[in-house]
Structure 1
Amino acid sequence: MATIQVVRSEWTKIRSVASTVWTLSLAVVVTLALGMLISALSKHEYDTMSADRRLDFDPTYISFAGMSLGQLAMIVFGVLVVSNEYSTGMIRTSLAAVPQRGTFLFSKIAVATGLALAVGLATSFVTFFLGQAMLGSYGADLGDPGVLRAVIGGGLYMTLIAVFSMGVATMLRSPMLSLGILMPFFFLISNILGNVPATRKVGRYLPDQAGSRIMQVVTPVDDSTPYGPWGGLAIMVAWVAAALAGGWLLLRRRDA
């Protein structure tokens, strides 16, 4: 089967499964709603902030506060894109139709990544503008230094979270096992390692903590992170590449 036909087939699979559509929709809604709420609360609290806190005030990054929960839906989307076929047994039919497993995986990842990128970028721009509207006079403009990079970076961050989840799901094949590992990893282990002084230097190299740097415009005064926004994104890309490579190797070597 030609690659273009495989890509079309994967697109049909994704858009015909209600769960993947709903998870992307949820990612948008949660990110926008929470971003607006946190932005509105930050505006209300600004006048009572200390001088040190005002130096660290980053209106662009504040508007992306909803991504902490929005990425949850992107993780689910990434897992379902891959593992749905394993849970239903359709993977045997798919691999019989496309015996070139590299082509099969590349097509699936490419289609899902393109969809996640479109949704991620749209969500990032909308949540930025809504967040700045909530912040009012304390907000930032898209033309301010570093802001456009951060807004585009927000879309890239959401996309990479989804692709990383696809790689992990390809390795594990089970939706429950994949989510059972990814959810605690991002929402528990990463936060603990990033906030405990003894492990903070390790935590900053985890994919979510490193990748989120791309959305920051203002560097906190006491920040000692040894890399900048693009360096953090590069670290996240390395994690994603490792997950995809692991998924590809295991897909090649084992039975469906």
Structure 2
Amino acid sequence: MAGTQVIRSEWTKIRSVASTVWTLGLAVVVTVALGMLIAALSKNDFDNLSRQDQLSFDPTYISFAGTSLGQLAMIVFGVLVVSNEYSTGMIRTSLAAVPKRATFLFSKVAVATALCLVVGIATSFVTFFLGQAMLGDLKASIGDPGVLRAVIGGGLYMTLIAMFSMGVATMLRSPMLSLGILMPFFFLISNILGNVSATEKIGRYLPDQAGSKIMQVVTPVDDDTPYGPWGGLTIMAIWVAASLLGGYILLKRRDA
């Protein structure tokens, strides 16, 4: 099967499965709604902040507060895109139709990534503008230094989260096992490692903590992170590349 045919096939698979469509929609709703809520609460609480916290207040980053929960849906989407075929047994038919496993995997990842990128960028811009509307006179402008980079970076971050999940799901093959590892990793382990003084220097190199740096415009006074926004996104991209490479190696070596 030619590469273009494989890509069309993967597109048909994704849009014909209701769960994958719903998870992307949920990612949009949760990210935007929670971002607006946190922005509104932050505006009301601004006068109660210390002088130092007011100086380091980042209206752009505040509007992306919902990303921490919205990425949950992107993780689920990434896992389902890959592991649905394993859970239904359709993977045997797919690999019989596309025996070149590199073509099969990377066509699937390419289609899902393109969809995530469109949804992620659109969500990021909507989240920013609605979040700034909630902040009132504390808001930032899209033309302010670093803001456009942060907004575009928010979409890239969500896309990379989904790609990382695809790589992990390809390695593990089971949707339950993949989600059982990814959810605690991002919502428990990463937070613990990043907030405990003994391990915070390790935690800052985890994919979510490094990648989220791209959405930050104002650097806190006590932030001693040794990399900037693009450096953090690069670290996250390395994690993604490693997960996809691991998935490809295992897909190539084992039976369906």
Same fold by TM-score greater than 0.5: yes
Q: How does 1:210-229 map to 2 (within 5 A)?
A: 210-229=210-229
Structural mapping, 1:118-157, within 5 Å: 118-157=118-157
1:247 corresponds to which residue? 247
Find the aligned partners of 2:195 and 2:114 in 1 and give their Cα distance: 33
Q: State how far apart, in whole Å, the 1-side matches of 2:197 and 2:56 are.
A: 20
Letter in 2 for 1:118: V
- Name 1:171's counterpart in structure 2: 171
1:51 alignment counterpart: 51
Aligned to 2:13: 13
Aligned to 1:143, the other structure's residue is in SS state coil
1:48 deviation in Å?
1.6
CA–CA distance in structure 1, aligned partners of residues 48 and 65 of structure 2:
20
Q: For residues 48 and 110 of structure 2, what CA distance do their matches in structure 1 show?
A: 47
Residue 106 (structure 1) aligns with: 106
- Mapped to 2, the partners of 1:56 and 1:208 lie a distance apart of 21
How far off its partner does 1:172 sit? 0.2
Measured after TM superposition, the shift of residue 243 of structure 1 is 0.1
Question: CA separation in 1, counterparts of 2:10 and 2:245?
Answer: 20
Distance in 1 (alpha carbons) for counterparts of 2:2 and 2:24: 28
Deviations 1:34-60 (A, max 9, x none): 000000000101112110110110000
| SS of corresponding position for 2:84 | helix
Distance in structure 1 (CA, Å) of the matches to 2:225 and 2:107: 36
Partner of residue 79, structure 1: 79
What whole-Å deviation, never above 9, does each CA across 1:40-82 have from its counterpart, x for those lacking one?
0001011121101101100000000000000000000000000
Runs of 5+ consecutive residues of structure 2 not aligned to the other structure: none
Q: Give me the whole-angstrom Cα distance separating, in 2, the residues matched to 1:193 and 1:55.
A: 27
Q: Could you say which residue in structure 2 is the equivalent of 1:162? A: 162
Q: Return the letter of the residue paired with 1:162.
A: A
Per the alignment, in what secondary structure is the counterpart of residue 205 of structure 2? coil
Greater Cα shift, 29-38 or 47-56: 47-56
Q: Please report the TM-score for the alignment, with normalisation by the length of structure 1.
A: 1.00
- In 1: Cα distance, 2:129 partner to 2:13 partner: 33
Aligned-residue Cα RMSD (Å) equals: 0.3
Q: How many Å separate the matches in 2 of 1:59 and 1:30?
A: 19
Runs of 4+ in 1 over 3 A off after TM superposition: none
Answer yes or no: is 1:232 the counterpart of 2:235.
no
Specify the code of the residue in structure 2 equivalent to 1:69: L
Counterpart secondary structure, 1:47: helix
Looking at structure 2, the residues matched to 34 and 101 of structure 1 have their Cα atoms a distance apart, in angstroms, of 40
Mapped partners of 1:243, 1:202: distance in 2 = 19
Q: How many equivalent residue pairs? A: 256
Q: Between the two proteins, what is the percent identity of the paired residues?
A: 83
Partners of 1:102 and 1:159 lie apart in 2 by 21
Amino acid paired to 2:36: M
Alignment of 1:181-192 (within 5 A): 181-192=181-192
